[in-house]
Structure 1
């Protein structure tokens, strides 16, 4: 009889030790796993740039209007900026040479839009050409007036 009472007491104490008290909250934990693909986007598209040039002017002509744009990249993501053609061009409609440059070659992403400027210059003493005998023309028919900025990351 003592054995049965001892076994019952032992079983009861084990049960009490492993079961939570009635009404006690359970608080399991778990992990939250996140995958992130970093990247960049054009936050503000580049605006057009413009030159006004007079035949054979004796000084270099800066841009009438600089182009501005913004890039937004993941935090801490290094990126570079580059212009197609290396920055030196000749317009095929007006036969005027010009250069373009970017205000920076790149940066490290901050998660916010980072602004840049396209600057440029047209060399002095160029004669240029118009398709017809007119007092002025523009490069609206040019097939190479579109430029590309590459954002590499």
Structure 2
């Protein structure tokens, strides 16, 4: 047993004294990233999707002051440093259900993306002194064929 231990010890010692030859090789490479820029429109109430809060007018026939709208809030989120412009379809309209004229505008017409939501508003003004068309005590424009508007973002 002692001889076996001695042989093993001598064998390990011989292995430990052998020169160790290690070699390495290295190479380099690039990381290539292809980024497609993007802009999104979303409402202040919705996490995603091109949703804009409705623009709402409350108007009384022949009122003596112009009416301003409520609502119309939305966010734009674009890739950092990406410039964009906003545009409304048909901003001056006479509603074909209640026969009231109004104009729409944007709180700003352009911006530069910063990677987070940027708040905007569609504002509206309805001139004073309009009669409107209504065969009841109150009416809405639910039957209007020209009430849907489009906001376009170009980037």
Per the normalisation by structure 2, the TM-score is 0.78
Query: CA offset at residue 35 of structure 1?
Result: 1.3
* Matching residue of 1:142: 144
Distance 1:146 1:43 in 2: 17
The RMSD of aligned alpha carbons is: 1.4
Structure 1, residues 1-52: CA drift from partner, whole Å, max 9, x if none? xxxxxxxxxxxxxxxxxxxx83344332111111122121123321011111
Match among 87, 90, 93 for residue 94 of structure 2 = 90
Distance 1:148 1:93 in 2: 19
Structure 1, residues 99-122: CA drift from partner, whole Å, max 9, x if none? 111110010111111110111111
4+ residue stretches of structure 1 with deviation over 3 A? none
Distance 2:86 2:21 in 1: 65
Number of aligned positions between the proteins: 129
Task: Provide structure 1 residue ranges, at least 5 long, that are not aligned to the other structure.
Answer: 1-20
Match among 99, 118, 122 for residue 118 of structure 1 = 122
Alpha carbons 2:42, 2:52 under 8 Å: kept? no
